[in-house]
Amino acid sequence: MPNSKAYPYPEIVTGEKWEVVGTVNNSPDGSTDNLNRQMTVPLDRECEECGINHSRMIRRHELGHAKWSPKTMGKLKPGVRAEAVHVLEEVRVNHLLHENKLALSEPSECLDVIQQKTMKLVYESGIAEIILMGLASRWRVPDNDPDRKYDRYKYNDEWIVMSSCFDMIRNDPNVTDFRKNQIMYAQRVITKFMHNITNHSWGQTISYRKVQKYAEPLSKILDMFRDKPEHDEVYKPAPKPTSSQQEGEGEGEAQESNELGGGSLEQRTRDDITELLYSSSDGHGEWGEMFTHQPPLSVNLQSRLKNGRSYRPADFGYNPKYINRYCIDKKIFKQKVTALGGTILIDASGSMSFDGQDILEVMQQLPAVTIAMYNGKSNTGDLRIIAKNGKRVTEKYLDEHSGYGNVVDGPALEWLGKQPPRRLWVSDMAVFGGRGDTSGFNLMADVNKLVRRYNIINLKNIEEVKEHALKLNVV
């Protein structure tokens, strides 16, 4: 009777004695310790569910590690994640198996299990987890199609299943465009790093140094996209009832809102970010270093901001100043009027423009507002508080410190998030960083996170501020 367990023989590969141990319940989690020459793999011969010998592929993969992987991962550079090195080494070993005509030609796990795992990831997990699974699940296998004229390879069944799951979410009408763009970005990253590892000159063998080289940029991406998505980042909100469906609303009765172009300003902000995410590059950028300035506010506007009285009648309070109103509306108490304010952050790069008169008109609507502007050049930027407490900087100061580039959008929005609401961001959203890929996907993803976290509303120019600022501050 043949042995029911299928043992690999790494001794044949390395010429040294090895210890081989079976995984618990033949789980597919194989591992190879080249330093201590220990291999842990499933030892069964076929899957009880589908009849495919998944474990043979896992054993073959671990023998590839015994043949080509170094004894240890080596000392990691600062910022390099062990999981980035590990997954890129998986890509390298899988490709070397293909080049040596030992490709993993059968699935290493039941395809329906792969599908379930992938669907859970695309709806619930961060981009980093999707990238890691995708890199570990994509490799080349022989293609024996006689009609193929050039490359005689195709991609493995696991990757085909994952790709179909990605297509499903892109066609799901209930999923947000933002999440669809995240999935597309994850696919591009998977393709990019696989090509970085597997592309080489004819006759050369892919070395472990290549894994070490590309683990650094991959680690930055994994760090940036570790967080799981919020529910409203994945699923579209339920459609709002029409006016005819809303009870208690009379005909022609309009509710005051910050509507613009058929949708709220908050939704427009998110839609614009989604569109920019799609057009951003696959690279990794970094914000410039931001310096905050509080210049002298030498132009006093307080005399021009007194719009009517500072107090109003009310039907509650402790100072009965307006006794004569008792028979009219019983509003006999004196109550101080709350001055509307909030915080406005203006992108002062070369693509935007405003002047002192614009600031005056905004402050006439919102006397207690704080206004700041930011811009930058090279890899540094500045945030300047240009109006506060009814005062502003001079016109000359505005002219001298406007223009240049963005550089510090992210740090400036972080500053805005810590200021009093409502928080308005005046920008055309042409976001650029200060280092690396200055239009990288991660920069727009950072902007999206800050806008959502701090409930920031984007307005395109100073004219939109004049139009909507007062209404937005009536909360």
Q: Model confidence over 384-402: pLDDT tens digits?
A: 999 998 889 998 998 888 8
Q: What share of the chain has pLDDT > 90, as a percent?
A: 51
Burial class of residue 250 (count of CB atoms within 10 Å of its CB; 0-12, 13-18, 19+): exposed
Residue 239 has pLDDT above 80, yes or no: no
Q: Per residue in 452-473, pLDDT tens?
A: 899 999 998 888 888 887 676 5
Lowest-pLDDT choice from 43-47, 202-206, 416-420? 202-206
Residue 70 has pLDDT above 80, yes or no: yes
In angstroms, the CA 380 to CA 376 distance is 6
Q: Who wins on pLDDT, 1 or 433?
A: 433
User: Can you tell me the mean pLDDT for 232-238?
Assistant: 87
Closest CA to 129 of 99, 162, 107: 162
Q: How confident is the model at residue 56 (pLDDT cuts 50, 70, 90)?
A: very high
pLDDT of the residue at 265: 82
pLDDT of the residue at 308: 43
Q: Per residue in 24-51, pLDDT tens?
A: 888 888 999 999 999 999 999 888 888 8
Q: Who wins on pLDDT, 332 or 209?
A: 209
Burial class of residue 396 (count of CB atoms within 10 Å of its CB; 0-12, 13-18, 19+): exposed
Lowest-pLDDT choice from 53-67, 273-287, 417-431? 273-287
Mean of per-residue pLDDT scores for the chain: 85
Task: State both tokens at 102.
Answer: 């030992």
In angstroms, the CA 461 to CA 72 distance is 56
pLDDT of the residue at 474: 45
pLDDT of the residue at 260: 42
Q: Per residue in 433-455, pLDDT tens?
A: 887 667 778 888 889 889 989 99
Residue 152 has pLDDT above 90, yes or no: no
pLDDT of the residue at 1: 40
User: Can you tell me the mean pLDDT for 124-145?
Assistant: 92
Strand partners, 33: 38
Residue 307 has pLDDT above 80, yes or no: no
Which pTM value belongs to this model? 0.76
Q: What share of the chain has pLDDT > 70, as a percent?
A: 87
User: Can you tell me the mean pLDDT for 257-267?
Assistant: 57
In angstroms, the CA 457 to CA 449 distance is 13
In angstroms, the CA 416 to CA 425 distance is 8
Q: Per residue in 319-356, pLDDT tens?
A: 888 888 888 888 888 776 555 678 999 998 876 777 77
Q: How confident is the model at residue 366 (pLDDT cuts 50, 70, 90)?
A: confident
pLDDT of the residue at 157: 94
What distance lies between CA 170 and its chain's CA centroid?
17
What distance lies between CA 286 and its chain's CA centroid?
14
Q: How confident is the model at residue 150 (pLDDT cuts 50, 70, 90)?
A: low
Q: Who wins on pLDDT, 274 or 180?
A: 180
What are the phi and psi torsion angles at 102 (to 5°)? -125, 35
Burial class of residue 473 (count of CB atoms within 10 Å of its CB; 0-12, 13-18, 19+): middle
pLDDT of the residue at 251: 41
User: Can you tell me the mean pLDDT for 122-142?
Assistant: 95
Edge to edge, what strands does the sheet with 31-33 contain?
19-22, 38-41, 31-33
DSSP-assigned states of every residue in 236-266:
PPPPPPPTTTSTTPPTT------EETTEEHH
Residue 405 near residue 248 (C-beta atoms within 8 A): no
Q: Per residue in 90-105, pLDDT tens?
A: 999 999 999 999 999 9
